């Protein structure tokens, strides 16, 4: 947390930048108010990078356009119905929104947008006091009607209006509370926590797309655990991601010191660590984090009590992949994300057979083939899934996976493993067998692929001989 003087100095430097200074001067000349608002002001006090430049004004959208168009390099009005105009001024991309006062009827999924008439009124309607900060331009006057600076200093998330009113107006703010708890490392105040518990069912009013976006933002924070724990303890997760709190009921057969819920959060923590340290994925990686969080969601449905009191979860990988697909579809995730997460969950147990005995080269090739373009994420997920406190066991699994990755690297260098395919293509198969396109070509292709996986690359002449022998035996 920076001092007020240091934060104002930083904001002053931003206000003097060419694009922002031009914008402020243009609004003042036109007789309109302009203020930098919300996240940029908050982050100046926290010493965080300032990215999005959001402004608010008493000008209506038509007036905003008339001020901005003459000075901007580009203007877009896709948010015009909500009072927002976007523009690019040199290196600065900005959004300018008319003062607002949202009107909620308690039933619709989105508020009706009504324009307000004062900066203070606009700020009071915002989600949390730490986001209800503004800097008037060009005066550089800080506006803080709700005590946001004090809450920044204390590391507290508090709503400007009573929490039950704020969350009742827009229930998505409850998920934003969880997200900011992770993103900023702040504590949610008691009134807001009580309101979360009381109003959790209201999240059902929010569209799946908005829930998805907020959940994704939470998962992409530096440390999502705190926010996820808020969602679970409040009952919100039971409504938007019920598979997560369901894990609290189960005990993991491999990790007796943790229940599956705690294990899954630890796997997520460790996956984020590997994601950063290995440097092989663009971080933060949403697919990686979804797979880590959801990798064991098949366990409640597959829990069985075996003779002797042992608990088993047979096929929870396959069941979990299906459950993940269903849940992510309900949340309107895109098809590529759904397919990747489901594939990782389906494969996350495959490695544990490696420690029972050395895999053949054929088994290693199949591991790589089945992982496809998810191989690096599978490496991270598998390593992260080791959460045992038994150091000897953890080291044994870690060394085994080191060995597997080394073998994959050697085979990849020798055989172009990332592009495993038969030694003859479809056209060559048709010419050799004297048949046209059809199911039999697919059968022949799969036969050659299995040869490739079992034996590695074959000389084309050898591949032809083996295919002809298969063809003769088939007849």
pTM for the full predicted model? 0.82
Band (pLDDT 50/70/90 cuts) for residue 28 is very high
What is the pLDDT, as a whole number, of residue 18? 77
What is the pLDDT, as a whole number, of residue 435? 74
The residue with greater pLDDT, 262 or 19, is 262
* Average pLDDT estimate for 44-67: 91
Identify which of 353, 343, 287, 289 has the alpha carbon closest to the alpha carbon of residue 318.
343
Burial class of residue 13, CB neighbours in 10 A (0-12, 13-18, 19+)? exposed
What is the pLDDT, as a whole number, of residue 257? 41
**Among the ranges given (88-102, 108-122, 171-185, 342-356), the one the predictor scored with the smallest mean pLDDT:** 108-122
Band (pLDDT 50/70/90 cuts) for residue 419 is low
Instruction: Identify each DSSP E strand in 186-272 by its residue range.
Output: 187-188
pLDDT tens readout for residues 185-236: 999 999 999 999 999 999 999 999 999 999 999 999 999 999 999 999 999 9
* Average pLDDT estimate for 169-186: 96
* Average pLDDT estimate for 369-379: 91
Band (pLDDT 50/70/90 cuts) for residue 436 is confident
Rg, Å, the chain Cα set: 28
Q: What percent of the chain has a predicted confidence (pLDDT) above 90?
A: 55
Three-class SS of residue 339? helix
Residue 282's CB is within 10 A of a number of other CB atoms, namely: 9
What is the pLDDT, as a whole number, of residue 441? 73
> Whose structure tokens read 């003779």?
307
253: pLDDT strictly greater than 50: no
Distance CA 413, CA 415 (A): 6
Q: CA 203, 204, 207 angle in degrees (round to 5)?
A: 95
pLDDT tens readout for residues 291-346: 999 999 999 888 887 777 777 788 899 999 999 999 999 999 999 999 999 999 99
111: pLDDT strictly greater than 60: no
What is the pLDDT, as a whole number, of residue 463? 78
Of 1.25.40, 1.10.3210, 1.20.1300, 3.40.50, which CATH number belongs to 250-419? 1.10.3210
What is the pLDDT, as a whole number, of residue 209? 96
What CATH number should be reported for the domain whose range is 155-240?
A: 1.10.110.30
* Average pLDDT estimate for 260-288: 93
**Among the ranges given (8-22, 117-131, 231-245), the one the predictor scored with the smallest mean pLDDT:** 8-22
CATH fold for the domain made of 4-148: Beta Polymerase; domain 2 (3.30.460)
The answer to whether residues 336 and 368 touch, using CB atoms and an 8 Å cutoff, is no
426: pLDDT strictly greater than 60: yes
The residue with greater pLDDT, 111 or 131, is 131
Identify which of 333, 337, 341, 287 has the alpha carbon closest to the alpha carbon of residue 317.
341
The answer to whether residues 419 and 442 touch, using CB atoms and an 8 Å cutoff, is no
- Domain spans of the chain? 4-148, 155-240, 250-419, 426-474
475: pLDDT strictly greater than 70: no
The residue with greater pLDDT, 455 or 10, is 10
Band (pLDDT 50/70/90 cuts) for residue 145 is very high
Average pLDDT, the chain: 87
Structure tokens at 377: 């994420």
Identify which of 410, 409, 404, 446 has the alpha carbon closest to the alpha carbon of residue 429.
446
Identify which of 214, 293, 212, 207 has the alpha carbon closest to the alpha carbon of residue 246.
293
What's the 3-state SS for 161-202? CCHHHHHHHCCHHHHHHHHHHHHHCCEECHHHHHHHHHHHHH
């Amino acid at each position: 947390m920076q001092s007020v003087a240091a934060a104002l100095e930083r904001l002053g430097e931003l206000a003097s930048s060419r694009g922002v200074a031009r914008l402020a001067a243009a609004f003042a000349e036109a007789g309109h108010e302009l203020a930098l608002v919300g996240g940029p002001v908050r982050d100046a006090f926290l010493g965080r990078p300032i990215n999005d430049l959001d402004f608010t004004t008493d000008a209506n959208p038509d007036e905003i356009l008339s001020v901005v168009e003459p000075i901007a390099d580009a203007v877009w009005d896709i948010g015009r119905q909500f009072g927002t105009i976007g523009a690019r001024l040199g290196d600065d991309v900005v959004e300018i929104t008319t003062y607002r006062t949202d009107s909620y009827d308690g039933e619709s999924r989105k508020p009706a947008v009504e324009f307000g008439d004062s900066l203070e009124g606009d700020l009071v309607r915002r989600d949390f006091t730490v986001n209800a900060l503004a800097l008037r331009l060009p005066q550089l006057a800080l506006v803080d009607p709700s005590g946001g600076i004090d809450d920044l200093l204390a590391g507290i998330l508090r709503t400007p209006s009573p929490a039950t009113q704020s969350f009742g107006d827009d229930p998505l703010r409850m998920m934003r509370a969880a997200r900011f708890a992770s993103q900023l490392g702040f504590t949610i105040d008691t009134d807001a926590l009580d309101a979360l518990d009381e109003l959790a069912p209201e999240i059902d009013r929010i569209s799946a797309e908005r829930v998805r976006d907020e959940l994704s933002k939470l998962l992409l924070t530096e440390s999502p655990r705190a926010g996820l724990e808020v969602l679970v303890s409040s009952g919100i997760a039971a409504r938007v991601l019920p598979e997560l709190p369901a894990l609290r009921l189960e005990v993991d057969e491999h990790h007796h010191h943790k229940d599956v819920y705690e294990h899954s959060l630890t796997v997520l923590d460790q996956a984020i660590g590997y994601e950063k340290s290995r440097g092989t994925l663009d971080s933060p990686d949403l697919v990686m984090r979804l797979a880590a969080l959801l990798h064991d969601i098949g366990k409640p449905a597959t829990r069985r009590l075996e003779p002797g009191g042992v608990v088993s979860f047979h096929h929870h990988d396959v069941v979990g992949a299906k459950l993940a697909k269903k849940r992510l579809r309900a949340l309107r995730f895109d098809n590529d994300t759904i397919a990747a997460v489901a594939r990782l969950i389906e494969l996350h147990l495959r490695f544990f057979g490696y420690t029972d005995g050395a895999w053949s080269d054929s088994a290693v090739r199949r591991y790589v083939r089945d992982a496809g373009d998810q191989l690096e994420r599978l490496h991270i997920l598998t390593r992260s899934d080791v959460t045992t406190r038994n150091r000897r066991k953890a080291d044994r699994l870690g060394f085994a996976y080191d060995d597997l990755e080394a073998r994959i690297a050697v085979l990849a260098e020798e055989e172009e493993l990332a592009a495993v395919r038969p030694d003859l293509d479809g056209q060559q198969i048709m010419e050799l067998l004297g048949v046209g396109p059809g199911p039999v070509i697919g059968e022949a292709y799969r036969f050659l692929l299995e040869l490739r996986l079992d034996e590695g690359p074959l000389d084309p002449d050898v591949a032809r001989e083996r295919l002809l022998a298969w063809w003769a035996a088939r007849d």
